[in-house]
Amino acid sequence: MNSHGNQSEAAGSTPPLAVFCDFDGTFSVQDVGSTLARRHGGHRRPAAWARYEKGEITAWEYNMEILDRLPVSEDELEAFLRTVELDPGARDLVDWCERYGVPFRILSDGFDYNLDRLQEINDVRFAYDANRLRYEGGVWRIDVGSPDPMCSCGTGTCKRARIAEFRRGNAGAKIVHVGNGRVSDLCGALEADVAFAKGTLAETLDQRGEPFERFDTLFDVIRKLEEWV
């Protein structure tokens, strides 16, 4: 990971700064997938998690075991999504990026269906990459968004690959990743120029001796970005 925190960069056709932000537990307070998994597929979780920890299944295979065919009706899901709170600085971060012409994108190992509904419910708009969810006979059917078999994350939406693709078209942009979880955020955090981290992502980056910016709410992120524009 490169850190260019003290470098000032002139505005050009390539944006000087771009922000990639995790959704569950970062842009939102609750983690949609794991909360529903706990409620509706709880009995399957310990065994599947043990297999994931031993490296027998990938993060995406873990998702398939727990979330595919999850019996949560559309009404139940809607009721739950209406209880999901956004980080207190979430809207401000989106607004801030728009004001300064800074590309902002949610990178989520969650699902398009939920992100679409959460945007409507909360009246906030963002571009995103995520996995796919549709209903079939009243149960969830899930599919990967953009996996990268070459990446060790094993997730359905590899954040490292999404950031690397943006970098190819925007050489010189300082790329920021914001996240909280070691499973889906680590590869994105390492690929970014600056990683904002909390939770298990911060613990993991700390253990690996990787530099990162610690944050509590997205207001902390905005304050730091202010220094760079």
177 binding Zn ion? (CB under 5 A): no
Site for Zn ion (CB under 5 A): which residue of 77, 81, 107, 187?
187
Site for Zn ion (CB under 5 A): which residue of 67, 72, 130, 158?
158
Least Å distance, CB 76 to Zn ion, is 31
Least Å distance, CB 188 to Zn ion, is 7
Closest to Zn ion by CB, 15 vs 145, is: 145
Site for Zn ion (CB under 5 A): which residue of 151, 164, 183, 229?
151
Least Å distance, CB 179 to Zn ion, is 12
CA–CA dist 194, 178 (Å, integer): 9
Closest to Zn ion by CB, 46 vs 149, is: 149
What is the phi/psi pair of residue 131, to 5°? -80, 175
Question: Which positions lie near Zn ion, rule CB under 5 A?
Answer: 151, 153, 158, 160, 187
